[in-house]
Amino acid sequence: MNAHPKLPVSVQVGYSIADVGINLAETVMRIYALVFYTDRVALDPSLAALAIGIAIVWDAITDPIMGAISDRTRHRFGGRRGYLPAGGLWLAAGVLLVFWPPELTSQAAKFGWLLGAGCFLNTGMTVLSVPYMAMAGEMTEEPHQRAVLFGWRFGFANVGALTAAVVPALLLTGAGGSAAAMPATSLAAAAIVVATAMVSWRATRDVRFVPVPPAPAGGRDTLAAMLRNATFRPLLLAYVVATAGIGVNAATFLYYYEHHLQLSGERTQLVLVVFLLVFTASIVGWVRLARHHGKRRPLVVGATVLGIGTTLLYLLVPPGAFAVVLGLGAIGLGSFVGCIVLIDAMLTDVLDHDLVRTGRSRAGLFFGVWRFASKVARAVAVASTGFVLGLAGYREGQATQPESVDTALVLLFGPGVGVLFLLAAAVLLRYRFDERKQAQVRRILDRRRARAAASGGRA
């Protein structure tokens, strides 16, 4: 009898499809929201970044709460998976609110709308994504199957990100840059979010989730309790630092390409599309490397190359060098970004370790804390980007910017991002929960379940 039955490919694919809508909405917010409100709505960059940052912090606060709720949810719609339909509808409505603001004249009104709509959107993101992510650790208990499942998820997440790049490119009118296409793009994004959430809900209806002890009704599972786990703490730190780098990169992407490199909206979107295609294709290779060499070592190498390459390329590339950023950036560095899939897969190994230590399943809370910390990092990254641009003299709603803004963009998009990737690699280099220790954890869990099954059989 196979102790680790393989999930059918149809279930793996069906479950992972929700990431198309989730990452589409998240990419739209990461890349386009700030520049949409500064260049189209004419909101001061410091205020726009502050509103987005506060909304992300709100999202971060609600993540552990939603994780704990989903840990205790038992109902006829399938436990955690029952949140997928409602979360999809909520998130879709939030996307529309953000990119269809009413006619507002004052800076205070524009700030208030972005803050309220952003908090509404991120609450929907929480209701959908936290239970959805926690499901992965309970669909299978075999480490490599989990890595494959996360590979599918990251692949479909990149389809969502690719859609966020392709749709605005198709809707560009030639004026106003990429942000001009966002209201129409948000309509397509909302429909995709709902559709993909429903597909994943239906695809997982027959899954026999791994039985785990229920979370207790008490309130002892706090952020401090999570941080006492010595295998979780350094992994979380590396993820937070890398997420901060990704946050700065996403927030400054359109500014760097369209203001510093002076590329057209069409060329900027083409770079983004190629980057995401290469990123998606590279995931298969990184998952295979992890199977033969473990997850940590390939991840350290990938993050190191990203750190050095990002620092040098975007610090030195001159304006107008479309072929250089397409070849070395989108294709060259893009092939290393797929290593990021491995850090999420490493978290599911940590969940097994915690189950051995505590005898309780806290997957929802762990994923909630995971997203909480990463979103705080992204909020700080976005707010810092807006603050730096405002300090450098960025003129909202203007096509021409002072030289000080150009310098700030180069430092943010190059060394600012690269140093953070290198710091993440340094943390992971010292990480000690390797494949040998994970195998020991799996053997302990297998023996416990075998004893439990034998006891049940005698009864």
Q: How far is CA 72 from CA 213, 227, 365, 417, in A?
A: 10, 21, 10, 39
Could you tell me which residues come within 8 angstroms of residue 158 by beta carbon, excluding any fewer than 6 positions away?
23, 276, 279, 280, 283
Contact 114, 51 (CB under 8 A): yes
- Torsion-angle region of residue 359: left (phi > 0), alpha (psi -120 to 50) or beta? left
Q: How far apart, in whole angstroms, are the C-alpha atoms of residue 125 and residue 119?
A: 10
Domain count, the chain: 1
Is 228 domain-assigned? yes
Q: Hey, what long-range contacts does 222-229 have (CB within 8 A, 24 or more apart)?
A: 223/64, 223/369, 223/372, 226/362, 226/365, 226/366, 226/369, 229/350, 229/353, 229/354, 229/357
On whether residue 2 sits in a domain, the answer given is no
Which is higher by pLDDT, 173 or 213?
Answer: 173
Question: What CA–CA distance (Å, rounded) separates 295 from 147?
Answer: 9
- Residue 210 above 80 pLDDT? no
Relative orientation angle of helices 182-203 and 9-16, to the nearest 10 degrees: 150
Please state, for a pLDDT cut of 90, what percent of the chain lies above it.
44
Confidence of residue 125 (pLDDT cuts 50, 70, 90): very high
Report yes or no on 144 lying in a domain.
yes
Residue 459 has pLDDT above 50, yes or no: no
CATH number for the domain that contains residue 22: 1.20.1250.20
Among candidate residues 218, 418, 158, 411, the one with its CA nearest the CA of residue 304: 418
277 within a domain of the structure (yes/no):
yes
pLDDT digits (tens, 9 = 90+) for 63-105: 878 887 887 776 555 577 889 999 999 999 999 999 999 999 8
Identify residue 403 by its one-letter amino acid code. Answer: E
Least confident of 120-134, 142-156, 249-263: 142-156
Spatial separation of the C-alpha atoms in residues 180 and 155, rounded to whole Å: 28
Assess if residue 92 is contained within a domain. yes
Give the whole-angstrom CA distance, residue 369 versus residue 130: 10
DSSP state letter for 320: T
Show the domain range for 383: 15-203+222-451
**Residues 329 and 275: beta-carbon distance below 8 Å:** yes
pLDDT of residue 2: 47
Query: Looking at the domain assignment, is residue 3 inside a domain?
Result: no
Number of H helices and E strands in the chain, helices first, is 19, 0
